[in-house]
Amino acid sequence: MIKRKNILKIAIDSPAAAGAGTLAKSISKHYNLIYLDTGKIYRFIAYLKIRYPKKFNNKFIKSKIKYLKIKDLENKFLLSDEVGTKASIIAKNKSLRKLVHTFQLNFAYNPPKKYKGSCLDGRDITYNIVPDADFKFYITANVKIRALRRYKELKKLNKLIKYEDVLKSIKKRDKSDQNRKISPLKKTKDSLLINTTNLNKRACFLKIKKIIDKKINI
């Protein structure tokens, strides 16, 4: 694998709906980094399983990952709670995780020249995908707040959705992501904890920006 030298690498891990995606996007834009929401890859694979149940095997997934483009990950079908739940089940599979490993490494270590670096968020980024990141963050928030945020997002796609169901589903996903054997969600010792429960988007962004600017001397 080609590794570009002197690039800025940011790694973020977080439980579902903690606001990591929004934050990572604004940070990436500010520092001109390529951004990858790695959860979307697992969601994409879950979607493939729903759409092509008969063809679904490692060979099929591999062929789809080979030509995977960021644009494919923007498909709004990937946002549903059903896909998120299926993604967390699929994500427990070691051989499947291996299939998407290289895709993520390429993003992290070899971003296109127009970018100054990369920012990835997910569950195992700080210790598995980009262990040598310049900055590592663990972004979290109270589970009820996370459920409320996710509920508001999902309400736009599905008017019938209920808050209680979203809360239940997020709790279930936390448990599954944290307790699985392969690449569980955890805060590594060298990650900075950012709790977004009582912070709005702007305040979160400024908090992270301050940490980064201090170290890179802007």
Residue number, 89 or 211, with CB nearest to ligand C5P: 89
By CB under 6 A, residue 81 contacts ligand C5P: no
What φ, ψ does residue 138 adopt, rounded to 5°? Answer: -115, 110
Residue number, 146 or 218, with CB nearest to ligand C5P: 146
By CB under 6 A, residue 38 contacts ligand C5P: yes
What φ, ψ does residue 137 adopt, rounded to 5°? Answer: -130, 145
By CB under 6 A, residue 124 contacts ligand C5P: yes
Question: Residue from 33, 36, 61, 87 that binds ligand C5P (CB under 6 A)?
Answer: 87
Count residues binding ligand C5P (CB under 6 A).
15
By CB under 6 A, residue 123 contacts ligand C5P: yes
By CB under 6 A, residue 45 contacts ligand C5P: no
Residue number, 42 or 109, with CB nearest to ligand C5P: 42
The 170-199 site mask, x for binding ligand C5P (CB under 6 A), equals ---x---x----------------------
Q: Which of 180, 182, 11 is nearest to 105 (CA)?
A: 11
Residue number, 8 or 45, with CB nearest to ligand C5P: 45
CB 14 within 8 A of CB 126: no
By CB under 6 A, residue 122 contacts ligand C5P: yes
By CB under 6 A, residue 136 contacts ligand C5P: no
Binding site for ligand C5P (CB under 6 A): 16, 38-39, 42-43, 84, 87-88, 91, 122-125, 173, 177
